[in-house]
């Protein structure tokens, strides 16, 4: 596949397993995933990941809510390694645009992954703020768009067109809900998709015979009923 697969998570063992198997071309994390994984020391976790994964892009997110503190955090995170992308949310919790911060950091040569984007207006604002000479990732949460009952495909196609204004900006399909989303993202020419470990495992099902898959499902039901000791 032409699309790049980025593994999404904050479990070090899982990340290293994927890395050693060559199952991803990059990694993304966020504070929510870290909290769910029980991580208490943000910097220590990041440094442990970067000690092992030095040749693939990894995104770590700022977690402040005001632009000056976000900038300080971003510059610190960027200093951790040449393969680090700093995740900046498109707005803060007050719905204040982070475009001024994105413009400052991108102009300083800091690689960014601008996250939590859901509208084309936001895509345009972000792309306009990016420096043409600095690599960046524009993360559009297509899965969350779909959660609202909207088809994300037209939005993502237009987002891809907007990103073309900055040749070093890559569009990332974020929050996929099923393996089909990987093929949809590939179909429109999206550069990157984030994939959870569960979805990553399902990639091995590509082009599997459907009747064989049906039989596997029947066997699963039968084996589980047998092992549970069900009787009537």
Closest CA to 106 of 71, 139, 73, 76: 71
Catalytic residue, from 4, 87, 166, 219: name it. 87
**168 in active site:** no
In this structure, are strands 136-140 and 169-173 parallel, antiparallel, or unpaired? Answer: parallel
Q: What are the structure tokens assigned to 74, written together?
A: 């971003």
Report helix, strand or coil for 190: coil
CA angle 198, 201, 145 (to 5 degrees): 50
Rounded Cα distance between 215 and 196, Å, is 26
Q: Residues 30, 51: contact at Cβ < 8 Å?
A: no
Category of 15 on φ-ψ map: left (φ > 0), alpha (ψ -120 to 50) or beta: alpha
Q: What are the structure tokens assigned to 227, written together?
A: 């092992």
Rounded Cα distance between 91 and 97, Å, is 4
Catalytic residues: 87
């Amino acid at each position: 596949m032409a699309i790049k697969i980025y593994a999404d998570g904050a479990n070090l063992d899982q990340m290293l397993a994927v890395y050693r198997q060559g199952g991803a071309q990059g990694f993304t994390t966020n504070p929510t995933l870290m909290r769910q994984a029980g991580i208490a020391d943000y910097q220590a976790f990041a440094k442990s990941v970067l000690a092992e994964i030095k040749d693939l892009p990894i995104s770590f997110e700022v977690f402040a809510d005001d632009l000056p503190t976000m900038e300080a955090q971003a510059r610190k995170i960027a200093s951790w390694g040449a393969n680090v992308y700093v995740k900046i949310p498109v707005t803060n919790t007050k719905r204040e645009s982070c475009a001024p911060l994105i413009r400052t950091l991108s102009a300083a040569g800091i690689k960014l992954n601008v996250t939590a984007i859901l509208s084309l207006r936001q895509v345009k604002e972000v792309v306009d703020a990016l420096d043409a000479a600095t690599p960046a990732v524009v993360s559009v949460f297509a899965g969350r768009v779909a959660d609202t009952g909207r088809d994300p495909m037209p939005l993502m196609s237009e987002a891809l067109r907007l990103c073309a204004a900055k040749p070093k900006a890559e569009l990332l399909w974020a929050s996929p809900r099923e393996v089909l989303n990987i093929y949809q993202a590939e179909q429109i020419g999206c550069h990157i998709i984030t994939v959870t470990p569960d979805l990553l495992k399902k990639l091995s099902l590509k082009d599997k015979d459907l009747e064989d898959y049906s039989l596997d499902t029947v066997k699963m039901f039968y084996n589980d009923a047998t092992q549970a000791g069900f009787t009537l």
